[in-house]
Amino acid sequence: MDELEYLPATLDALSRQETTFPVEVYVCVNQPDIYWDVPSKESICQHNQQLLAYLRNYAFLTLHVLDYASRGCGWQGKKHGVGFARKVLFERIMEEADPDDIIVSLDADTYLKPRYLQSIAENFVARPGMTAVAVPYYHEVNPSDEVQTRAMLRYEIYMRNYAVNLLKINSPYGFTALGSAIAMRVEALRKIGNITPLQSGEDFYLVQKFCKMGGLSLFNTECVYPAGRYSDRVPFGTGPAMKQGANGVWDSYPIYHHRIFEPVQEAYHRLRELYEDRISLTDNDFLLFLQKDTGKQDIWADIRRNVSDFNHFVKAFHQKADGLRILQYARAKYKQHPVKEEITINDNLRLWIPEKIPSWFTSSRPLAEYSVEQLNALRNLLFEVEQTLRLSYH
């Protein structure tokens, strides 16, 4: 939607892919149909029509264009947004693709290096049991806009810090879900029932479904490079977070201290006791949180009765204590006991990579006081740690 400025560059990157596998590109140009009658949305309507004309004349790819933008073709009522765009794209692909074909999900403003698609295909060929991959990502820096760049780097530091915390405790949900950084087998997408078409967060729930099904990978030899830019077209995510962050508001995206995740790790280690009903829920804060969150008197008794052995109990536990519950727990704990981000980052880095902490870093300076170059260096440190952990995931 309204991507006339960005999509041509993404298509150009796709046309330069060096791959031995056949590639077909599906594009969904979309908007709510009511936009045609809203004066303030006139530019979006016109830009979408210009983009459709551009796509009809594009000759460098095998291109399939889904027109959900022309008058009478747009979204109706509450059914609109990025989640529905992905849903109709995936539905069309599943109608035409073979079960072993690979769907590579991108956003319209994504940069790819020439071997990106080849690396995805080789990844799936090398791992027959892999159902999907949450691809490593790296937002590009915009040197012409320092405020935007700082916001992007701060948001990426938040995401990488959260992912590393989960990966360090061997959580099954140590993924980062970006709509522009997911690839999946067609057959696997069919099995999970396609994507849930939400206004925001549809990528998170999609990857979580693959995680629960099994066969999710976090590693790929090539990264994807999403654009870090402002946006208010979705309720939450990179664009809205950056927009808030540019104004100094990061309340919804705190840097979580590693101690928050220790009760989660302890719960993982005590699953045998939980299975054998030898642990009081008050002994573990995360288990107690799960109990209160469900509102049931004993959520684990029902699970024990319905599983045949300990291994099935572990699987059922992780179905219940999923990525959403862990995030909710982290938010609740942070709200109860917030720690300054500069102290948190200092403590986390000293635990994870004490030998690589830069000489200029100190726990007494908030991130807002660091230069763009220093923020980028912190981002790169966390990227390095995360990549190492992604490689060993499952």
Q: pLDDT per residue over 334-373, tens digit each? A: 999 999 999 999 999 999 999 999 999 999 999 999 999 9
Report helix, strand or coil for 153.
Answer: helix
Report if residue 5 sits inside a domain. yes
How far are the Cα atoms of 147, 162, 264, 344 from residue 386, in angstroms, in the given order? 25, 10, 19, 17
Residue among 207, 171, 203 at smallest CA distance from 188? 207
Report if residue 27 sits inside a domain. yes
pLDDT of residue 251: 80
Residue among 330, 321, 199 at smallest CA distance from 253? 330
Report if residue 23 sits inside a domain. yes
Among residues 41, 57, 80, the one where a domain terminates is: 80
Tokens of 156: 């990426």
Summarize pLDDT for 262-294 with one digit per residue, the tens. 999 999 999 999 999 998 878 899 999 998 877
Range of the structural domain that residue 67 is part of: 1-80
Tokens of 242: 């950056």
For the chain, the domain total comes to: 2
pLDDT of residue 242: 64
Report if residue 225 sits inside a domain. no
pLDDT of residue 296: 73
Summarize pLDDT for 39-95 with one digit per residue, the tens. 999 999 999 999 999 999 999 999 999 999 999 999 998 888 888 999 999 999 999
Among residues 63, 80, 97, the one where a domain terminates is: 80
Residue 23 has pLDDT above 80, yes or no: yes
What residues contact 219, with CB distance under 8 A and at least 6 apart? 123, 133, 136, 387, 390, 391, 393
Tokens of 62: 């095998």
Once rounded to an integer, what is the mean pLDDT over residues 313-338?
96
Report if residue 295 sits inside a domain. yes
What residues contact 276, with CB distance under 8 A and at least 6 apart? none
Report if residue 288 sits inside a domain. yes
Residue 248 has pLDDT above 70, yes or no: yes
Q: What is the mean pLDDT of the chain?
A: 92
Among residues 296, 319, 334, the one where a domain terminates is: 334
Residue 234 has pLDDT above 60, yes or no: no
Residue 244: band (very low, low, confident or very high) from pLDDT cuts 50, 70, 90 = confident
Report if residue 44 sits inside a domain. yes
Instruction: List the beta strands (DSSP E) in 131-273.
Output: 132-134, 182-185, 216-217, 225-226
Report helix, strand or coil for 67.
Answer: strand
Report if residue 103 sits inside a domain. no
Residue 238: band (very low, low, confident or very high) from pLDDT cuts 50, 70, 90 = low
Report helix, strand or coil for 286.
Answer: helix
